[in-house]
Structure formats: structure tokens, C-alpha cells
Amino acid sequence: MPLRKRQIQILNVLYKNLQNARPKPVPSVAIAGKLGMNLPELRELLTRMNGKGVIQTDLDQRYNLITRKGVTWLDNQRPYPDPAPL
């Protein structure tokens, strides 16, 4: 699967967490399970995404949160419907 698509999937999982009344950091194990990824592959992506500032992860990469930059980047990746014809 393309890198960009995987990043979007990860950000979507983290974004959905924001919908909770009291969002908590999302465990990497939960993300890997939802996306059918192995942890080494996920951790490599988390490292890249943390470096770009779109997520925050702890030193052990066990828990993750999306950042404002991540929300903005994700929003820019979403397709919007074409405007209605005039």
C-alpha cells in the first residue's frame, strides 16, 4: 500500500479519537490492529509522522495523538464533492 495512503489511515484513526468526549492517546497496538499492520511497520511510519509534526508519540511509540498540523494535513487530503452544476 502506498505510504501516503497508510499515513492517511493512521491519521484517520487518530482523528476519530478526537470525537470522544475525553480523547486519550491511542495505543499503537490498537492502530496496528485496526489497519492490519505489524508493529515494526507501524512504528516506522509513526517515526516519520512524528518528525513531520502531524502526530505526537511517546518515546516508546506506544501511545499516539494527532496534532493540529495533522488535522489540517488530513483535511487537505480529503476529497470534496464537485460543486453542483450551474
Which domain does 41 fall in, by range? 3-75
CA distance 46 to 86: 44
**What are 14-68's pLDDT values in tens digits?**
999 999 999 999 999 999 999 999 999 999 999 999 999 999 999 999 999 999 9
Number of domains within the chain: 1
With beta carbons less than 8 A apart as the criterion, state whether 26 and 58 touch: no
| CATH, residue 57 | 1.10.10.10
Minimal CA–CA distance to 17: which of 76, 83, 67, 61?
67
- Say if 34 falls within a structural domain: yes
Global confidence as pTM: 0.87
Contact, 15 vs 7, CB < 8 A? no
Whether 86 is covered by a domain: the verdict is: no
Whether residue 82 is contained in a domain is answered as: no
83 lies in a domain?
no
Q: What tens digit of pLDDT does each residue of 48-57 get?
A: 999 999 999 9
Query: Does residue 32 lie within any of the structural domains?
Result: yes
**Does residue 16 contact residue 8 with C-beta atoms inside 8 Å?**
no
Lowest mean pLDDT among 5-14, 20-29, 73-82: 73-82
